[in-house]
Structure 1
């Protein structure tokens, strides 16, 4: 009895949070074989993935000639780009100074370039792609959604300018085979700005300080656990849709209420100015970038005010399973000792 050939899933950045989560979910589906792209196939993470039967391929997002053969024959491609890698790299900071641009703008240009390279390479293998053959991790377009108010929220627009912008403009046929998944706030993000999330004050309680309205609804995502299941669910649906991946949507007061119940400590929220957040942040450029994100989350909203985005409940209504981790579930599993013992 003949068996059908396995479908080929290609995952960009397979050693990262999102790519690794997608690999973990699709590994449990025997109808797929997986090819993972990474700059360093000999890294411990890459070798561990290879030991699970994943084909690991060396590829450079800055070199489209390495991507075209890596994508060849793919039925499904998961795309993700990383603004923060060039943002934090010391050599990129030096190059930004040499070019006379901020490290924020430099990282934007680097991410856009890599995203366009991905799109160009995917377009070269479009005939092998499934009807819903490109699933791209992205964010809302801050400049457009805010009508120009936020024209330097670079880690949002670097993604949205390509997925869907560049693809729709240059490759309309590919755009018809693409789904875009906007990711919510990573639940682990507090580790990047702990003093803004949880600062212990004189009375022993903890203060959260953001330039964001306390009642703004924020989507929260357990990135390592849930990107994979969400992308897997989207892959079962028709193409051309836009999604918001989140396990819980709540405001910051509700967030603190959950955290306080779990940790047993008192909390409060203070809305501060962008400049105050920058002063609290060791890396001022990082403070400005995330500060704009919090302001944008107040108005028009983290999702750009787009009410048409499909969420997990919409996917389930279509009859597709999509297990997600709630914020409370994630918080109960997290080790908060470093925060509580500050």
Structure 2
């Protein structure tokens, strides 16, 4: 059976994009095209070996995106704030402009998102496009009433959504958004990484944010589950993608139970929790966490759905128990 629909995946060699591609890869009705700046890379060739068509395109080049999107039935779009904020080229440009690297990265990320929208709305692409799924996050400044202004990795994406709704109505009519929750794998980057003690027990620090339940996601699996559900529905849906809601304490106590190890939870201030992070990210993460704790991950946006079964009754996200059981924890030993 020949696939009748074409899904173009931005970021297919990254975490979210690869999850989306894997979720649709075995579907007989979908053919997948991946976008890469270097289709000859080892990561890109791996997708080619799976039957994915890999094409070259750059988020800074609208013309290349138009060509990559040609014939698409659906597009999954994601932008990467962290790649931009740690880029030496952009850091130098930010310094020259007298801007914080975070703010500069947000501006570039927003511009790239607008480039994606411009290309997706071009006549040759819009002729076949029915679904445009954008990976966004909530509008911090709006939902906090201006209280939090340094959550740039949220606001750059939210600015793209605002641009599309205000300036690109034809594409807005085809758009759905997915707000991907807190990566359950963030511990690998040091965000609450358990430390093994001499007696074989562990100590883990959690931030002093009360018993707030957070939307943890096994991003490598469940991003695709949610995007697939959006593609099976009419457009105009906004959903929070998560595997399971849990407090920070619940997450690690479940880990301790499953792993069969003794664990002591140490509650520290938000400032202390992020003290070992690169300086460029400390304020960013502190404000982000305080915003999430006070206003919620979606900021309390009433238009964002938090129920996967409402979109797709048969869809199932991964439980934290399943995530913890499948994860490689050998680096903690």
* TM-score (structure 2 length as normaliser): 0.93
> In the alignment, what sits opposite 1:235?
231
1:253 to 219, 237, 249: 249
Correspondence 1:176 to 2:173:
yes
Aligned counterpart, 1:329: 322
**CA-CA distance at 1:97 after TM superposition:** 1.6
For structure 2, which runs of at least 5 residues remain unmatched after alignment? none
CA 214–337 in structure 1, closer or farther in 2 if over 3 Å, else same:
farther
Are positions 1:280 and 2:251 aligned together?
Answer: no
State the Cα distance separating 1:62 from its structure 2 match: 0.6
SS in 2 for 1:279: coil
Distance 2:3 2:318 in 1: 33
Residue 64 of structure 1: aligned partner? 62
Given the superposition, is the C-alpha separation of residues 224 and 318 from structure 1 closer, same or farther in structure 2, using an over 3 Å criterion?
Answer: closer
State whether structure 2 residue 263 is matched by structure 1 residue 266: yes
Q: Is the CA contact 1:233–1:320 (under 8 Å) kept in the aligned structure 2?
A: no
- Give the conservation status (yes or no) of the 8 Å contact 1:236–1:320: no
Structure 1 residues 318 and 119 mapped into 2: Cα distance closer, same or farther (>3 Å)?
A: closer
Work out the CA distance in 2 between the residues paired with 1:113 and 1:20: 23
SS in 1 for 2:275: helix
Change (3 A) 1:89 1:186: same
What value does the CA root-mean-square deviation take over the aligned residues?
1.9
Cα separation, 1, equivalents of 2:38 and 2:312: 39
Picking from 7, 10, 21, the partner of 2:8 is 10
| 1:190 CA drift (Å) | 1.1
Q: Which residue does the alignment assign to 2:299?
A: 304
In 2, the alpha carbon distance for the partners of 1:185 and 1:8 equals: 29
Deviation of 1:42 after TM superposition, in Å, equals 0.6
Tell me by how many angstroms 1:140 deviates. Answer: 0.7
Structure 1 distance, partners of 2:22, 2:156, is 27
Which 10-residue stretch deviates more, 84-93 or 41-50?
A: 84-93
Equivalent position of 2:27 in the other structure: 29
Gaps of 5+ in 1: none
The whole-number CA distance in structure 2 between the counterparts of 1:266 and 1:315 is: 33
* SS in structure 2 of the partner of residue 140 of structure 1: coil
Shift of 1:66: 0.7
Aligned length: 329
Contact 1:201–1:207 (Cα < 8 Å) also in 2: no
Distance 2:275 2:251 in 1: 24
Report if the CA contact (8 A) 1:260-1:266 is conserved.
yes
1:160-179 per-residue CA deviation (whole Å, 9 max, x = no partner) reads 110x2110011112111110
1:226 aligns with 2:222: yes
The partner residue of 1:292 within 287, 293, 311 is 287
Specify the alignment match of 1:94 in structure 2. Answer: 92
User: Post-superposition shift, 1:35?
Assistant: 1.1
Q: Partners of 1:222 and 1:189 in 2: how far apart? A: 10
In the TM superposition, residue 114 of structure 1 has moved relative to its aligned partner by: 0.4
**Cα offset, 1:286, TM superposition:** 1.5
Distance in 1 separating the partners of 2:293 and 2:198: 29
The 2-side partners of 1:292 and 1:197 are apart by 20
Post-superposition offset of 1:71: 0.9
State the alpha-carbon separation in 1 of the partners of residues 45 and 325 from structure 2: 31
Per-residue deviation at 1:278? 4.5
